[in-house]
């Protein structure tokens, strides 16, 4: 009897907790014509297993807490095991009392270049830079986990975003694109530095207000939820007041624009005249979407 109890406890310990990510990895090689496509298929399978089976943090995640996300790699050129790609990263989190997943992060990294040999082993060491492929994937894994934590408590993901910053610091000396401040100002260096900057704290505060105080209340208190989402957008607008057209503001609306339109196009009415003005001022690139909001 005692042995049975011990075995049961071990099974709960083993199966009750898992890695942090539930990630769909896709590799698109449509642009490549003169190559054996098997290497791309192997890369997709191996990378998917690596992302989903790696323990990225010391936090215990229950199976149901795994973060839904995707990494879509588009290969632009391939020669002598050198890959030039773009990487689309998306993540979402469940909304309380619903089956809906609310988008949290949506970013297109246009400087994803790496060397890969088919069947090579992927090993994550947070304290060393071993390859650009591993570094970039590990960086975004930590960003996804950090921003997800921010949606459940105010700036709750700081330690995970700091882990991403450590990866970025280690990668800077590699010479690989996307890691330094001397390049264009919409790369991995600026992303993680902005996330940890006091100037852009409203972005992370807004994630909590929008999701935990807003979307999670939509089933029970829809009007209050919508009012809190308005407040979250007003929080994001604080960034615009000091840094118009900030990179981090664009990241917020790249993930949330379509959902904002949907939220305010139905259900209980709230006063959104001021919201409409704020949206058009802070994110004018999405003005066509804002015009679709039904008052």
Residue 6: the pLDDT is 37
What is the distance between the alpha carbons of residues 178 and 188, in angstroms, rounded to a whole number?
6
| Position with higher pLDDT, 274 vs 227 | 227
**Model pTM score:** 0.93
pLDDT-derived band of residue 7, with 50, 70 and 90 as boundaries? very low
| Position with higher pLDDT, 254 vs 267 | 254
Q: Computed from CA positions of residues 253, 256, 258, 261, in that sequence, does the dihedral angle turn out positive or negative?
A: negative
pLDDT-derived band of residue 31, with 50, 70 and 90 as boundaries? very high
pLDDT-derived band of residue 224, with 50, 70 and 90 as boundaries? very high
Token pair belonging to 27: 């590799």
Residue 17: the pLDDT is 60
Residue 4: the pLDDT is 40
Largest Cα separation within the chain, whole Å, is: 68
What is the distance between the alpha carbons of residues 73 and 263, in angstroms, rounded to a whole number?
30
Residue 207: the pLDDT is 98
- Residue ranges covered by each domain of the chain: 19-179, 197-295
Render the chain in DSSP notation, one character per residue. Answer: -HHHHHHHHHHHHHHHEE-SEEEEEEEE-TT--SS-THHHHHHHHHHHHHHHHS--SSS-EEGGGPEEEEEEEEEEEEETTEEEEEEEEEEEEEPTTSS-EEEEEEEEEEEEEEE--TTPPP---TTS---HHHHHHHHHHHHHHHHHHHTTSTTTTHHHHHHHHHHHHHHGGG--TTSSTTS-SSSHHHHHHHHH-GGGHHHHHHHHHHHTTTGGGTTT-HHHHHHHHHHHHHHHHHHHHHSTT-HHHHHHHHHHHHHHHHHTTSSS----HHHHHHHHHH-GGGHHHHTT---
Q: What is the rounded average pLDDT for all residues in the chain?
A: 92
Contacts of the segment 95-102: beta carbons below 8 A, 24+ positions apart: 95/211, 95/215, 95/216, 95/218, 95/219, 96/215, 96/216, 96/217, 96/219, 97/216, 97/219, 97/220, 98/218, 98/219, 101/68, 102/211, 102/215, 102/259
* Percent share of the chain, pLDDT over 70: 94
Residue 5 has pLDDT above 80, yes or no: no
Residue 183: the pLDDT is 78
What would the pLDDT profile of 177-195 be if each residue is shown by its tens digit?
999 998 777 999 999 999 9
Q: Are 293 and 230 in contact (CB under 8 A)?
A: no
pLDDT-derived band of residue 60, with 50, 70 and 90 as boundaries? confident
């Amino acid at each position: 009897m005692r042995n049975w109890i011990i075995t049961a406890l071990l099974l709960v310990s083993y199966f009750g907790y898992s890695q942090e990510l539930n990630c769909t990895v896709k590799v698109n090689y449509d642009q490549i014509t003169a190559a054996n496509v098997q290497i791309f298929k192997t890369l997709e399978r191996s990378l998917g297993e690596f992302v989903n089976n790696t323990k990225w943090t010391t936090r215990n995640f229950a199976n149901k807490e795994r973060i839904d996300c995707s990494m879509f790699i588009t290969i632009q050129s391939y020669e002598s095991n050198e890959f030039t790609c773009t990487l689309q990263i998306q993540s979402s989190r469940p909304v309380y009392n619903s089956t809906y997943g609310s988008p949290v992060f949506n970013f297109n990294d246009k400087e994803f270049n790496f060397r890969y040999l088919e069947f090579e082993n992927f090993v994550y060491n947070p304290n060393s830079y071993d390859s650009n492929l591993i570094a970039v994937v590990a960086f975004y894994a930590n960003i996804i986990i950090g921003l997800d934590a921010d949606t459940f408590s105010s700036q709750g993901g700081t330690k995970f975003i700091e882990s991403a910053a450590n990866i970025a610091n280690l990668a800077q000396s590699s010479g690989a694109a996307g890691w330094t401040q001397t390049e264009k100002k919409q790369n991995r260096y600026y992303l993680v530095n902005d996330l940890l900057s006091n100037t852009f704290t409203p972005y992370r505060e807004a994630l909590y207000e929008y999701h935990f105080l807003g979307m999670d209340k939509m089933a029970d208190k829809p009007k209050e939820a919508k009012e809190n989402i308005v407040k979250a957008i007003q929080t994001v607008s604080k960034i615009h007041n000091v840094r118009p057209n900030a990179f981090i503001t664009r990241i917020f609306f790249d993930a949330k624009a379509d959902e904002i339109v949907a939220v305010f196009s139905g259900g209980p009415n709230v006063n959104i005249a001021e919201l409409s003005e704020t949206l058009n001022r802070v994110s004018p690139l999405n003005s066509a979407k804002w015009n679709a909001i039904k008052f």
